[in-house]
Structure 1
Amino acid sequence: MDDRTHGAKIEASDDMLLLDDSTGLREDRAVPPGTKAKPRSRLRPIFLLGIAVLLGLGIYRITETLRAPRESGRGQETAPQPVGVATIGTGDIKVVVTALGTVTPLATVTVKTQVNGQLLEVGFKEGQSVKKGDFLAQIDPRPFQLAEAQFEGQLVHDQGLLDQAKLDLARYQTLVKQNSIARQTAEDQVFIVKQNEGSVKLDQAQIDNQKLNLIYAHIVSPIDGRVGLRLVDAGNYIQTTDSGLAVLAQMHPITVIFVVPEDDIPEIMAAMRAGRDPEVTAYDRANVTPLAVGKVAALDSQIDPTTGTVKLRANFDNLDDKLFPNQFVNARLLIKSLRGVVTVPSSAVQHGAPGTYVYVIGADDTVSPRTVDLGPLDGAMFAVNKGLTPGDRVVVDGADRLRDGAKVLISTAEGSNGGPTDGETPAKSGHPSQHHRGDHPGQRDQP
């Protein structure tokens, strides 16, 4: 056998091995003579195994991540929630209407001259408090004094003519009886006497007019009040058409005019007819500091149809001058007081699907929502018409994390909203209510 025959056998043997190790795709493929087979990569299985391991680790991490919040949530649901608690009690609730008002003096007077002349003297200081009749200014009186003297002289002259006419009349009447003169002469003398009497009266009126001008030249305060800034200086010639010398405003007493809704008129009228003038407290612009306490003095005669409100006037003594004319204030009208009613802190009131409700704590320290019917708000306390009784414990802090039947842990300190702890009776706020009846401000909405 030669070398070529041996080589052919070797090649045939290699072809058989390739057919045995190849896949079905290679069974029909014939390797051409003289072609060498490519060796298989030994790294491919290792690469595939690495990818499978990495996918497994990724799926494991994702599963653990999704499972952790659920387990944490179950742990939180089962743990007691710390809350602030208040015990329901009784107290007094003031039914108050708050309105915007303006301080208005009972009298505001612009001091003006009633005669023309030179202003000789100003007798007041700006901002001074004066009494009725106090001296304010002096206008030059000399022209009026001279005119008075002139008319007094005219009066003496005319009075002399009148006296002479009366004597002539008496003489003529005697002569007429004696038929010594014509009757017409006596009759004419009667009219002459009347003319002279008229002249005398005219002279007297002129004198009185000049005396009045002298009074006008000496200007005095027409009311008790405070003098404003001076509008004219001494030395100026002033006239009756000028704007004035100064403005006076009555300070004691002083009033506040404010408006209230028409729905409150019946109760206000009932109180006034009973002789009980409702109390009004004036607060500053920020509605924080009380300035003065007064009484309702008058109610307007008609309702404003555009706003549905009516004006009220309240009187204040204002002895400490805390109220100033045209000052903006908040007026709080006390309509009535509810005595000994059940009260609940406003921080305990929630809104949600049940309506208006509070979380009540049971004997086993679990909470349950209870609907309540609320009355007026006085400061931080609501009057409760229905739904709670004295001694009930309600949540005032932490209610947003609660559900029906949740276990709670009562805090030993007050919550962030200032609510009292368990066993304490909630104190009433020092500020009266800024809302009326059905208004429930400051309540949180609960989904």
Structure 2
Amino acid sequence: MDVDLAYGQGWLTVGLPDDLDVTVVEPQYHPAVPEEAAYLREVLAAPVAGPRLRDRVRPGQSMAISMCDLTRPQPRHLMIPAILDEVAGIIEPEDVVVLVATGTHRGNTDAEIRQMLGGELTDRLRVVNHDSRDTASLTWLGEYGEGVPVWLNSLWVDADVKVTTGFVEPHFFAGFSGGPKLVAPGLAALETVLTLHDAARIGDERATWGVIDDNPVHRDIRTIAAETGVTFAFDVILNREKKIVRAFAGDLLAMHSAAREAAREIAMAPVDDLFDVVVTTNSGFPLDQNLYQAVKGMSAAYTVVKPGGTIICAAECRDGFPDHGSYKEVLASAASPEALFADISARKETVPDQWQVQIQAKIQSGARVVMHTSYLSDEELALAHLTQTSDIAATVREVCARIGPEARVCVLPEGPLTVPYVDASVRPADHVA
């Protein structure tokens, strides 16, 4: 059977033997709403909770809009104009700043911002990259949640009106993306993010896909956003073509709750048992542009791989590890994934990119991970304790041949766009103990 894997800006076709026991978990097709721009305006006019945005603002006020950076496929070119239309005649464009919620990622280039927003909008608005390491651009707000020191972007803090825009999908340790994440970690200081993503929080079993209740990461993220003030929140859910399926607007927490429930139905899928081999991706570009982001695809596979099983992750990685940040350095700092995981878990202080490394080390301690990339060499991957395959199908056949005819394979063609989970209720009768 042929399976198409999302890879870079296209697809990678993998031919698997017909006699293998293969389960393909991919997004169910959800058609995009007709006339996306008109639909977004309708959603803004009828919020999930609270008054519409135009009824919350006054002439002369300043407004900050938080949006995702290039690593997220948010339809900013539609969402930002919809917000501007909603406040037209009340707040002037020159009183608006659009903040790229980079978290600890690098700032986006002018060309990338134009790619995200379009040239006309980029030229008309003030667009600023958040910089978590620039202390002069941050404001101290106090301690929130379970001992989280909070500095936020000063342009955000000083704005009269604060609007988050994003998209909601299951997140590999925060439960779900969108909503409050557009404040912290999106617009937070490095120290704030390091605390939110420390070893204890990330290592908690409740810090995983689709879990919100008692998730220590999401709990503090939600507390920071709610208690430091968000005027209005606006999120979308996307289909496999990155088109809008649903949108939600209104008070932050109520809006995000409604969006999460819709995303759970759309983006999570039950399977009957664990698998010997899981082939995964990171949903193609822009999500698979570096190894750092590809950990999400590995994590989605890890939810359904047998202990000691094999994960094969196809991610183009055109941006390398990437080279900025300390991710590569931390990965190479120990002799094995097991040693790396133990070292991170024992640390009292969190270092940049530690959370991603901690999750990757945990995955690699429990399963063999094989990469298929176009921009990372075997030698570079070895620094991350990873191996590479040039032929995914051949690697699947090799692993299954060692296991025997009972080998089971799962394929996630679009990686974390649909997150699998084991649910005994979907098992066939002869599978039930």
Does TM, scored on the shorter chain, surpass 0.5? no
* Structure number having the greater helix percentage: 2
Larger radius of gyration: 1
Question: Scaled by the length of structure 2, what TM-score is found?
Answer: 0.19
**Structure with greater proportional strand content:** 1
The structure with higher relative contact order (CA 8 Å, sep 6+) is: 1
